[in-house]
Amino acid sequence: MTGQQPIRFGTDGIRGRAGELLTPNLALSLGYWVGEVLRQTTDAPQRPFIIGQDSRNSSDMLATALAAGLTAAGFEVWNVGLCPTPCIAYLTATTEAIGGAMISASHNPPADNGIKIFGSDGSKLSPDLQKEIEAHLNAGLSLPHTEQWGHLHHRPELLQRYRHAVQAPLEDRQPLRGLRVVLDLAWGSAVSVAPTVFHALGAEVIALHDRADGDRINVNCGSTHLEPLQQAVRETRAAMGFAFDGDADRVLAVDSQGRVVDGDHILYFWGQRLQSQAQLPKDLIVATVMSNLGFERAWQARGGQLVRAAVGDQYVHAEMLRHGAMLGGEQSGHILCRHYGVGGDGLLTAVHLATLVQDSRLSLAQLRDQSFTAYPQILRNVRVEDRQRRLHWQECEPLQQMIAKAQLDMGDRGRVLVRASGTEPVIRVMVEAEQQSVADYWTETLVQTVTAHLAA
């Protein structure tokens, strides 16, 4: 590792361009040190480790190298193969596994990849364990010699355990019988399981981008490019559509008119459902700093509480545990419901939203009309290649002064959020206001400020 940039866990594991940051050597070393660090956390160190991957061309390489590091540390490795990230979280939490890893860069383009690590409870590793692993990686030491080799086992049948867990609470009554849905599988992990689950629950499925394709994963499709799904829903007269990201841990929906139903809407609908069933403690939902003010105020008008976490499902999860909340998520479509699991799960969310709509005897479009009016919200990304400038943007005085001016101008009728992305080399600028013109003005002003003082 000598001479390479320091390895850092971001908001969703280690992520970067395959072959540059994410090399076979890194994955080999990471596998070894993840194994060694996790071994210290248990009294039963011989437990297996589970690996899954998305469809990217580099995923086989990274999964193989990671498994080599783990077997060098003496671990049995179960490789599930192509599967959603929540499948690995579920299997890690419900088997004797000591931990798990998912090879994926989520919604990023095909050339990127990433490695997400899970503990034995299915949650992302704690910051302390991540720092310990980083310290070993950055030390640049050769792997210690050992003859206690582990073994690699290919276990694709484990995917069926996850599939059964998603559909089992609902399949007896086939709640989606007669429902026509369009699924955009983004050429990624969702192809391995989503159509099968929707069929099993009675739905008529129209699938887009429905095979594993490492050259096209997330390209002009999936949860970050909703246009193909919107067009297909309208043309096929489907009741609704769902778009997954590359590793299927998040989902966005569209109604029969092609209108977006984002994570805020999903939290609002699912929150109402749980509230009516007395399954939402304190009527509390955990959202993030990105969630729309219109959603927050509408939920408060129902007597609910909303707590905001930092962006990233691990931060949402932490706040849910801290407050005893059962429902939380992100506007981008990471939804966590602790009644069913410990992490964001796009397929589980899609199935439960579709079931909720069917049970309501209303269409998704009608539910959307009855929910809340979102404030105009604009999100712009400014590419900032210099890592130090990007991570220490708060020290830029001209930007801080402009943010203060914007907040003063909008008062309680809007808000500003500027942050460094944890997954891409960009500064994200979000402005939300009651009036579109105000949001437009301050977004452009702040983007220009970031460009002039950080991106130049």
* Per-residue confidence (pLDDT) for residue 4, from 0 to 100: 53
> Among 6-20, 135-149, 228-242, 424-438, where is mean pLDDT lowest?
135-149
Residue 116 Cα to chain centre, angstroms: 11
Query: For the chain, what is the mean pLDDT?
Result: 94
**What does the alpha-carbon distance between residue 362 and residue 370 come to, in Å, rounded to a whole number?**
10
**Exposed/middle/buried for 278, CB within 10 Å: 0-12, 13-18, 19+?**
exposed
90 pLDDT exceeds 90?
A: yes
- Helices 59-72 and 24-39 pack at an angle, to 10 degrees, of 40
Alpha helices in 383-435 (DSSP H): 387-391, 397-410
Mean pLDDT of 306-321: 93
Mean pLDDT of 92-100: 96
Percentage above 70 pLDDT, the chain: 98
- The structure tokens listed for 299 are 């939920």
141 pLDDT exceeds 80?
A: no
| Residue 440 in marked binding region | no
- Which of 58, 59, 106, 120 is the catalytic position? 106
Residue 311, SS3? Answer: coil
**What does the alpha-carbon distance between residue 180 and residue 172 come to, in Å, rounded to a whole number?**
19
Q: In the beta sheet, which residues pair with residue 170?
A: none
3 pLDDT exceeds 70?
A: no
| Residue 256 in marked binding region | no
pTM score? 0.90
> Among 68-77, 135-144, 152-161, 219-228, where is mean pLDDT lowest?
135-144
* Per-residue confidence (pLDDT) for residue 93, from 0 to 100: 95
Mean pLDDT of 399-419: 95
Do the Cβ atoms of 318 and 342 come closer than 8 Å? Answer: no
All domains of the chain, ordered by start, with CATH?
Answer: 14-158 (3.40.120.10), 169-370 (3.40.120.10), 377-455 (3.30.310.50)
| Residue 215 in marked binding region | no
| Residue 120 in marked binding region | no
Do the Cβ atoms of 289 and 309 come closer than 8 Å? Answer: yes
pLDDT 10s digits, 220-252: 999 999 999 999 999 999 999 999 999 999 999
276 catalytic per annotation: no
* Per-residue confidence (pLDDT) for residue 147, from 0 to 100: 74
| Long-range pairs of 428-432 with CB within 8 A, sequence gap ≥ 24 | 428/379, 428/380, 428/381, 428/382, 429/379, 429/380, 429/381, 429/382, 430/290, 430/377, 430/378, 430/379, 430/380, 431/377, 431/378, 431/406, 432/292, 432/293, 432/375, 432/376, 432/377, 432/378
1 pLDDT exceeds 70?
A: no
> End-to-end alpha-carbon separation of the chain, Å?
30
| The 377-383 sheet, strands edge to edge | 377-383, 426-433, 414-420
Mean pLDDT of 53-79: 97
429 Cβ partners below 8 Å, 6+ apart? Answer: 379, 380, 381, 382, 416, 417, 418, 443, 446, 447, 450
11 pLDDT exceeds 80?
A: no
422 pLDDT exceeds 80?
A: no
Mean pLDDT of 59-64: 98
- Across 170-179, 239-248, 332-341, 381-390, the highest mean pLDDT is recorded for 239-248
